[in-house]
A and B are shown apart, each in its own frame.
Chain A
Amino acid sequence: MKGLRNFVSKMKPTFSPGGKLSWLHSTFDAFETFLFVPNTTTAKGSHIRDAIDLKRTMSVVIMALMPALLFGMFNIGYQNSLALGLERTLLENWWYGFVEMLPLIIVSYGVGLGIEFIFAQIRHHEVNEGFLVSGMLIPLIMPIDVPLWMVAVATAFAVIIGKEVFGGTGMNIFNPALLARAFIFFAYPKAISGNTIWVSGLGAAEQTGTVVDGFSGATPLSIAPELMGEGVNTIDWSSMPVWDWFVGLIPGSIGETSVIAILLGAIILIFTRVASFKIMFATFAGGYLMGLLFNLIGANIYMEMPAYYHLLLGGFAFGAVFMATDPVTGSQTSKGKWIYGFIIGALAVAIRVLNPGYPEGMMLAILFMNAMVPLIDHYVVAGNIKARMKRSKVK
């Protein structure tokens, strides 16, 4: 460790102002602070000092994502062995998933961090840690068989148009990871919807005819729309493998299937207070109540689906825990967090049920509410001011 410190210290003058490679200053700075805790502190003014900084916050989120990531890797292999009728042990399944997943992660980080570094050089500011989490979220919300170049294009779009245009980390209006997914969803809809893309290797296997009979690869979210398309009017929802949905042994985007793994992450986030409990709870409540409302209406079989199914399926849990709670794009005020979360949940379920063409209502709901956050916060703050003015009886 000491040798590394000496080496970094020796390199420092080269990158400092006046040095040979001073234009790469922020790149050097990024690596130095990545390796060692910075020894600079704020010099003047009053500041609240805390052990946590942006880097620690990001690391906590990465840690919270680990259960979903590890389970997602296992599920890639598990679904693949189901589809092709292979006998594999747990570890072999996981290893298969790891190998399939790794390129996605590398592409996401490579492209995203590359752009962040370039912008930091051009704008002469430090490289932000903001992309650490986005870079992990992007592969987790992709289907496993999505072409890598699309991930690269979408990541570049999300980082440049979603973040750097607004001034970089902390300035963005929309969640960059969701923006990447929305980009692929609208630009290359074939790559991110349908029944074959959620299971690794299913598209290729269907062409060669090696798929096990009866394996469809459809996500549970498409059960009701497909049946409705065939004109079926009755369905026994109680016979569904709800436990599998909860554990996550279903096809879907990599990180979103397992509610258990996501809840583990949620506990870490709530315990360390990195993410807002209010937003998570309000989102689940909103989704559940909206589901109940549809149960009351009950106009078709999708509306009759038990309300809590919505919370288990698709990206709902993942979005509620990791996406809606993004401290930059989420609501900042306490009351606003309840409103923001509640409407996300309600909108997500409404989009799913009312427009089966957009099964991933969660993504659209969060992006829409991201845009509404300034409005919500403005009125919450205005309401607080009004209430206080009344209380203090200022003429």
Chain B
Amino acid sequence: MSGKKNKDIFLAPFSKDNPVIVQILGICSALAVTAKLEPAFVMALSVIAVTTLANFVISLLRNTIPPRIRIIVQLVVVAALVILVDQVLKAFVYDVSKQLSVFVGLIITNCIIMGRLEAFAMGNKPFPSVLDGLGSGIGYGLILIIVGFFRELLGSGTLWGFQIIPQSWYAANGGFYENNGLMILPPMALIVFGIIIWVHRSRNKELQEK
């Protein structure tokens, strides 16, 4: 974390250059896994691990990869890492792994990872590449967790599986409240993303397109 430049590389994806809400990458998996907070968190960790390690490996190999087959080499590296992550998830958090189903495997095609490999790791030294991968992964994870938080709280009344909205509020128990079923459906994830982008751009005027 030495030097201002490295710090910028690490911190830019958090807000000003966020892969999800500024570059609009990785939306597909983000819509699919954010109905609950726990899978969103696990997915975020998986992507952080893959981006960081893939950036590191590709950065080490960057001078030996022939440019014409670089995409294939990148894919092989990413695919190997994703399979490792998938096996770890299956071993330690089997339930969540079931919920995430194909979306762990689909990390291979996540645009954020390919984008970072192409745009950064192929032309930079290993240490900045690791920082860049870590930053991008965390930037993606942050948004996932924010969306997962609102979708689970409003859609299921729980957080991380724990009941937050008191049971006595529900209409079935004589209260008035009902969970918002739309929050569970993917369209609402897109709308929540839209709202986050809206808030983010109103706070960062330089991001607004003319």
- Residues of A in contact with B (beta carbons under 8 Å apart): 147, 149-150, 153, 161, 165, 183, 186-191
Complex: how many Å from CA A309 to CA B135? 61
Q: What 0/1 readout, one digit per residue, does chain B (157-185) give for beta carbons within 8 Å of chain A?
A: 00000000000000100001010111101
List the B side residues contacting A183 at CB < 8 Å. Answer: 182
Q: Is B1 an interface residue when CB atoms closer than 8 A count as contact?
A: no
> Which residue of chain A lies nearest to B187 when distances are taken between CB atoms in the complex?
A186
CB of B191 closer than 8 Å to a CB of A: yes
Q: Among A183, A186, A187, find the residue whose CB has the most chain B CB atoms closer than 10 A.
A: A187
Give the CA-CA distance A71 to B42 in the complex, in Å.
55
Asked if B198 CB lies within 8 Å of chain A CBs, one says: yes
Any A CB within 8 A of the CB of B194: yes
B183 A165 Cβ-Cβ under 8 A: no
Q: What's the Cα separation between A186 and B195 when bound, in Å?
A: 19
Question: Contacts of B171 on A, CB cut-off 8 Å?
Answer: 190
CB interface residues, B 180-203, toward A, < 8 Å = 180-183, 185, 191, 194-195, 198
CB distance from A85 to the nearest CB of B (A): 27
> With A165-B194, A165-B198 known to touch, is A187 a contact of B182 (CB < 8 Å)?
yes
* A188 close to B191 (CB less than 8 A): no
Q: Is B176 a contact partner of A189 (Cβ separation < 8 A)?
A: no
The reply to whether A149 and B176 contact each other, CB–CB distance below 8 Å, is yes
Interface of A is mostly: helix
A147 CA to B171 CA, complexed, in Å: 10
What's the least CB distance linking B199 to chain A, in Å? Answer: 12
Contact A190 B185 (CB under 8 A): no
Q: List 23 A-B contacts (CB under 8 A).
A: A147-B176, A147-B178, A149-B176, A150-B178, A153-B180, A161-B195, A165-B194, A165-B198, A183-B182, A186-B181, A186-B182, A186-B185, A187-B180, A187-B181, A187-B182, A187-B183, A188-B178, A188-B180, A188-B181, A189-B181, A190-B171, A190-B178, A191-B178
- Chain B contributes a number of interface residues (CB within 8 A of A) equal to 12
- Chain B residue nearest to A160 (CB atoms) is B195
Which chain B residues lie closer than 8 Å to A165 at the CB level? 194, 198
Q: How far is the CA of A276 from the CA of B181 in the complex (A)?
A: 36
Q: Closest chain A residue to B178 by CB distance?
A: A188
List chain A residues, Cβ under 8 A from B176.
147, 149
Which 9 A/B pairs are nearest by Cβ-Cβ distance?
A187-B182, A187-B180, A186-B182, A187-B181, A188-B178, A161-B191, A189-B181, A147-B176, A186-B181
In the bound assembly, the distance between CA atoms of A161 and B191 in angstroms comes to 8
Q: How far is the CB of A167 from chain B (nearest CB, A)?
A: 13
* Distance A57 CA – B183 CA, assembled complex (angstroms): 36
Bound form: Cα–Cα A153–B181 in Å: 13
List 20 extra interface pairs beyond A149-B176, A187-B181, A189-B181, CB under 8 A.
A147-B176, A147-B178, A150-B178, A153-B180, A161-B191, A161-B194, A161-B195, A165-B194, A165-B198, A186-B181, A186-B185, A187-B180, A187-B182, A187-B183, A188-B178, A188-B180, A188-B181, A190-B171, A190-B178, A191-B178
Give the chain A neighbours of B181 by CB distance below 8 A: 186-189
Residue in B closest to A186 when the chains form the complex, CB atoms: B182
Q: Which residues from chain A contact B185 at a C-beta distance below 8 Å?
A: 186
Bound state CA distance, A62 and B171, in angstroms? Answer: 35
Q: B172's closest neighbor in chain A, by CB?
A: A190
Query: How many Å from the CB of A206 to the closest CB on chain B?
Result: 15
Distance to closest chain A CB from B200 (angstroms): 14
* B194 neighbours in A (Cβ, 8 Å): 161, 165
Separation of A188 and B178 alpha carbons in the complex (Å): 7
Q: Which residues of A contact B191 (CB under 8 A)?
A: 161
Rounded to whole Å, the gap between the CB of B169 and the closest CB of chain A is 11
Tell me, rounded to whole Å, the shortest Cβ–Cβ distance linking A94 to chain B: 28
Tell me how far the C-beta of A21 lies from the nearest C-beta in chain B, rounded to whole angstroms: 24
In the complex, A191→B176 CA distance in Å?
A: 11
**CA distance in complex: A188, B177 (Å):** 10
Smallest Cβ-Cβ distance to A190: which chain B residue:
B178
Q: Within 8 Å CB of B182, what residues of A? A: 183, 186-187
